[in-house]
Structure 1
Amino acid sequence: MSVPLYQAKAELFRTLGHPVRIRVLELLQDGPKPVRDLLLEIEVEASNLSQQLAVLRRAGLVESSREGASVMYALSTPDVADLLAAGRRILGSVLADRGGLLVQMQADGRER
Protein backbone atom coordinates (compact mmCIF):
# COMPACT_ATOMS: atom_id res chain seq x y z
CA MET A 1 0.00 0.00 0.00
CA SER A 2 1.43 3.39 -0.93
CA VAL A 3 1.90 6.27 1.47
CA PRO A 4 -0.29 9.37 1.02
CA LEU A 5 1.53 12.28 -0.59
CA TYR A 6 1.15 14.51 2.49
CA GLN A 7 2.82 11.81 4.60
CA ALA A 8 5.70 11.47 2.12
CA LYS A 9 6.16 15.26 2.18
CA ALA A 10 6.19 15.26 5.98
CA GLU A 11 8.92 12.60 5.93
CA LEU A 12 10.96 14.67 3.47
CA PHE A 13 10.76 17.71 5.76
CA ARG A 14 11.66 15.57 8.80
CA THR A 15 14.75 14.45 6.89
CA LEU A 16 15.66 18.10 6.32
CA GLY A 17 15.22 18.83 10.03
CA HIS A 18 18.87 18.50 11.03
CA PRO A 19 21.46 21.30 10.70
CA VAL A 20 24.26 19.00 9.49
CA ARG A 21 22.04 17.61 6.75
CA ILE A 22 21.08 21.10 5.59
CA ARG A 23 24.74 22.17 5.57
CA VAL A 24 25.73 19.09 3.52
CA LEU A 25 23.04 19.89 0.96
CA GLU A 26 24.18 23.52 0.81
CA LEU A 27 27.78 22.49 0.19
CA LEU A 28 26.77 20.04 -2.54
CA GLN A 29 24.96 22.75 -4.51
CA ASP A 30 28.29 23.67 -6.11
CA GLY A 31 28.85 20.13 -7.33
CA PRO A 32 30.03 16.75 -6.04
CA LYS A 33 32.41 16.72 -3.08
CA PRO A 34 34.44 14.02 -1.38
CA VAL A 35 33.65 13.20 2.24
CA ARG A 36 37.00 14.64 3.39
CA ASP A 37 36.02 18.08 2.00
CA LEU A 38 32.63 17.91 3.69
CA LEU A 39 34.35 17.07 6.98
CA LEU A 40 36.62 20.10 6.67
CA GLU A 41 33.71 22.43 5.99
CA ILE A 42 31.24 21.11 8.54
CA GLU A 43 33.61 20.29 11.40
CA VAL A 44 31.73 17.37 12.92
CA GLU A 45 32.97 13.92 13.85
CA ALA A 46 33.36 11.59 10.89
CA SER A 47 30.87 9.14 12.41
CA ASN A 48 28.25 11.91 12.76
CA LEU A 49 28.73 13.03 9.16
CA SER A 50 28.56 9.44 7.96
CA GLN A 51 25.26 8.94 9.80
CA GLN A 52 23.77 12.13 8.34
CA LEU A 53 24.93 11.25 4.82
CA ALA A 54 23.28 7.84 5.19
CA VAL A 55 19.98 9.51 6.14
CA LEU A 56 20.19 11.81 3.10
CA ARG A 57 21.07 8.88 0.84
CA ARG A 58 18.16 6.75 2.11
CA ALA A 59 15.82 9.69 1.50
CA GLY A 60 17.10 9.95 -2.07
CA LEU A 61 18.39 13.52 -1.65
CA VAL A 62 22.04 12.66 -2.35
CA GLU A 63 23.90 10.07 -4.35
CA SER A 64 27.31 8.59 -3.65
CA SER A 65 29.98 7.16 -5.89
CA ARG A 66 33.58 6.02 -5.55
CA GLU A 67 36.45 7.79 -7.25
CA GLY A 68 39.58 5.90 -6.34
CA ALA A 69 39.89 5.95 -2.56
CA SER A 70 37.38 8.80 -2.17
CA VAL A 71 33.63 8.58 -1.73
CA MET A 72 31.97 11.44 -3.59
CA TYR A 73 28.56 12.85 -2.76
CA ALA A 74 26.27 14.87 -5.02
CA LEU A 75 22.71 16.15 -4.97
CA SER A 76 20.40 13.62 -6.57
CA THR A 77 18.49 16.35 -8.43
CA PRO A 78 18.80 20.13 -8.90
CA ASP A 79 15.36 20.36 -7.27
CA VAL A 80 17.07 19.92 -3.89
CA ALA A 81 18.95 23.21 -4.46
CA ASP A 82 15.67 24.82 -5.50
CA LEU A 83 14.06 23.66 -2.25
CA LEU A 84 16.92 25.16 -0.21
CA ALA A 85 16.59 28.44 -2.10
CA ALA A 86 12.84 28.48 -1.43
CA GLY A 87 13.52 27.88 2.26
CA ARG A 88 15.89 30.83 2.31
CA ARG A 89 13.31 33.08 0.63
CA ILE A 90 10.64 32.00 3.10
CA LEU A 91 12.96 32.67 6.04
CA GLY A 92 13.76 36.09 4.60
CA SER A 93 10.07 36.95 4.41
CA VAL A 94 9.13 35.54 7.79
CA LEU A 95 12.10 37.04 9.60
CA ALA A 96 11.98 40.47 7.98
CA ASP A 97 10.82 41.93 11.29
CA ARG A 98 13.19 39.87 13.45
CA GLY A 99 16.42 41.77 12.65
CA GLY A 100 19.21 39.50 13.94
CA LEU A 101 18.82 36.39 11.82
CA LEU A 102 17.90 38.39 8.75
CA VAL A 103 21.07 40.49 9.11
CA GLN A 104 23.09 37.28 9.50
CA MET A 105 21.49 35.80 6.36
CA GLN A 106 22.27 38.94 4.37
CA ALA A 107 25.86 39.14 5.64
CA ASP A 108 26.66 35.51 4.91
CA GLY A 109 27.00 35.45 1.13
CA ARG A 110 28.47 31.92 1.14
CA GLU A 111 25.49 30.27 2.80
CA ARG A 112 22.48 29.51 0.66
Structure 2
Amino acid sequence: MNATTVPLYQAKAEFFRMLGHPVRIRVLELLRDGPLPVRDLLAAIQIEPSNLSQQLAVLRRSGIVSATRESSTVVYELAGGDVAELLRAARRILTVMLAGQQDLLAQLNDSGTEAAAP
Protein backbone atom coordinates (compact mmCIF):
# COMPACT_ATOMS: atom_id res chain seq x y z
CA MET A 1 0.00 0.00 0.00
CA ASN A 2 1.52 3.35 -0.97
CA ALA A 3 1.34 6.50 1.16
CA THR A 4 -1.62 8.01 -0.73
CA THR A 5 -3.85 4.93 -0.57
CA VAL A 6 -6.46 5.11 2.15
CA PRO A 7 -7.99 1.90 3.49
CA LEU A 8 -11.64 1.47 2.55
CA TYR A 9 -12.80 1.58 6.18
CA GLN A 10 -11.05 4.94 6.60
CA ALA A 11 -12.61 6.32 3.41
CA LYS A 12 -16.02 5.20 4.67
CA ALA A 13 -15.39 6.87 8.04
CA GLU A 14 -14.50 10.13 6.26
CA PHE A 15 -17.66 9.86 4.17
CA PHE A 16 -19.85 9.42 7.24
CA ARG A 17 -18.04 12.25 9.02
CA MET A 18 -18.87 14.46 6.03
CA LEU A 19 -22.53 13.53 6.52
CA GLY A 20 -22.29 14.13 10.27
CA HIS A 21 -23.89 17.56 10.45
CA PRO A 22 -27.64 18.16 10.90
CA VAL A 23 -27.75 20.94 8.29
CA ARG A 24 -26.07 18.73 5.70
CA ILE A 25 -28.51 15.92 6.37
CA ARG A 26 -31.46 18.33 6.12
CA VAL A 27 -30.15 19.71 2.80
CA LEU A 28 -29.85 16.18 1.42
CA GLU A 29 -33.37 15.34 2.58
CA LEU A 30 -34.74 18.45 0.89
CA LEU A 31 -32.87 17.72 -2.34
CA ARG A 32 -34.18 14.16 -2.38
CA ASP A 33 -37.35 15.47 -4.04
CA GLY A 34 -35.44 17.37 -6.72
CA PRO A 35 -33.25 20.40 -7.34
CA LEU A 36 -33.80 23.52 -5.22
CA PRO A 37 -32.48 27.07 -5.36
CA VAL A 38 -30.53 28.33 -2.36
CA ARG A 39 -33.38 30.66 -1.33
CA ASP A 40 -35.72 27.65 -0.93
CA LEU A 41 -33.12 25.78 1.11
CA LEU A 42 -32.69 28.85 3.33
CA ALA A 43 -36.45 29.17 3.81
CA ALA A 44 -36.82 25.50 4.73
CA ILE A 45 -33.82 25.27 7.05
CA GLN A 46 -33.96 28.80 8.54
CA ILE A 47 -30.27 29.31 9.31
CA GLU A 48 -27.85 32.10 8.49
CA PRO A 49 -26.96 32.24 4.79
CA SER A 50 -23.24 32.01 5.62
CA ASN A 51 -23.82 28.80 7.61
CA LEU A 52 -25.81 27.24 4.77
CA SER A 53 -23.18 28.31 2.27
CA GLN A 54 -20.48 26.65 4.36
CA GLN A 55 -22.43 23.37 4.61
CA LEU A 56 -23.27 23.40 0.90
CA ALA A 57 -19.57 23.88 0.12
CA VAL A 58 -18.71 20.75 2.13
CA LEU A 59 -21.35 18.76 0.25
CA ARG A 60 -20.18 20.15 -3.09
CA ARG A 61 -16.49 19.37 -2.40
CA SER A 62 -17.42 15.80 -1.49
CA GLY A 63 -19.26 15.41 -4.79
CA ILE A 64 -22.52 14.45 -3.12
CA VAL A 65 -24.37 17.50 -4.50
CA SER A 66 -23.86 19.58 -7.60
CA ALA A 67 -24.67 23.22 -8.23
CA THR A 68 -25.72 25.04 -11.38
CA ARG A 69 -26.23 28.74 -11.88
CA GLU A 70 -29.45 29.90 -13.49
CA SER A 71 -28.97 33.66 -14.02
CA SER A 72 -28.50 35.01 -10.46
CA THR A 73 -29.79 31.87 -8.75
CA VAL A 74 -27.72 28.86 -7.71
CA VAL A 75 -29.64 25.59 -7.81
CA TYR A 76 -28.46 22.49 -5.93
CA GLU A 77 -29.28 18.87 -6.60
CA LEU A 78 -28.13 15.44 -5.50
CA ALA A 79 -25.26 14.17 -7.60
CA GLY A 80 -26.79 10.68 -7.77
CA GLY A 81 -29.70 8.53 -6.70
CA ASP A 82 -27.59 6.53 -4.28
CA VAL A 83 -27.71 9.41 -1.79
CA ALA A 84 -31.50 9.23 -1.63
CA GLU A 85 -31.24 5.46 -1.09
CA LEU A 86 -28.71 6.02 1.70
CA LEU A 87 -31.16 8.40 3.42
CA ARG A 88 -33.96 5.84 3.08
CA ALA A 89 -31.69 3.14 4.53
CA ALA A 90 -30.79 5.42 7.46
CA ARG A 91 -34.51 5.99 8.11
CA ARG A 92 -35.15 2.23 8.15
CA ILE A 93 -32.22 1.61 10.50
CA LEU A 94 -33.30 4.40 12.86
CA THR A 95 -36.87 3.13 12.85
CA VAL A 96 -35.69 -0.32 14.00
CA MET A 97 -33.33 1.18 16.59
CA LEU A 98 -35.99 3.48 18.03
CA ALA A 99 -38.57 0.70 18.08
CA GLY A 100 -36.10 -1.37 20.09
CA GLN A 101 -35.66 1.52 22.50
CA GLN A 102 -39.44 1.83 22.84
CA ASP A 103 -39.64 -1.88 23.65
CA LEU A 104 -36.93 -1.47 26.28
CA LEU A 105 -38.67 1.57 27.75
CA ALA A 106 -41.94 -0.36 27.94
CA GLN A 107 -40.15 -3.21 29.73
CA LEU A 108 -38.60 -0.77 32.18
CA ASN A 109 -41.98 0.83 32.85
CA ASP A 110 -43.60 -2.58 33.32
CA SER A 111 -40.91 -3.73 35.73
CA GLY A 112 -41.27 -0.49 37.70
CA THR A 113 -45.01 -0.97 38.16
CA GLU A 114 -44.56 -4.62 39.13
CA ALA A 115 -42.08 -3.63 41.86
CA ALA A 116 -44.48 -1.01 43.21
CA ALA A 117 -47.41 -3.44 43.45
CA PRO A 118 -48.25 -4.65 47.00
Which residue is 2:106 aligned to? none
Shift of residue 75, structure 1, vs aligned partner: 0.3
Which residue is 1:107 aligned to? none
> Are residue 62 (structure 1) and residue 65 (structure 2) matched?
yes
Aligned length: 99
* Between structures 1 and 2, the one with greater helix share: 2
Q: Deviations over 1:26-63 (max 9, x none)?
A: 00001110000000000000000000000111111100
Shift of residue 97, structure 1, vs aligned partner: 3.3
Alignment counterpart, residue 12 of structure 2, candidates 9, 14, 17: 9
Distance 1:3 1:59 in 2: 16
TM-score normalised by L of structure 1: 0.85
Note the residue ranges of structure 1 that are not aligned, 5 or more in a row. 100-112
Distance 2:100 2:83 in 1: 27
Runs of 4+ residues over 2 Å off in structure 1? none
Shift of residue 2, structure 1, vs aligned partner: 2.0
Alignment counterpart, residue 74 of structure 1, candidates 74, 77, 91: 77
Which structure's CA Rg is the greater one?
Answer: 2
Alignment counterpart, residue 90 of structure 2, candidates 79, 82, 87: 87
Shift of residue 83, structure 1, vs aligned partner: 0.4
Which residue is 1:47 aligned to? 50
RMSD: 0.8
> Are residue 30 (structure 1) and residue 28 (structure 2) matched?
no
1:66 alignment partner, SS class: strand
Letter in 1 for 2:5: S
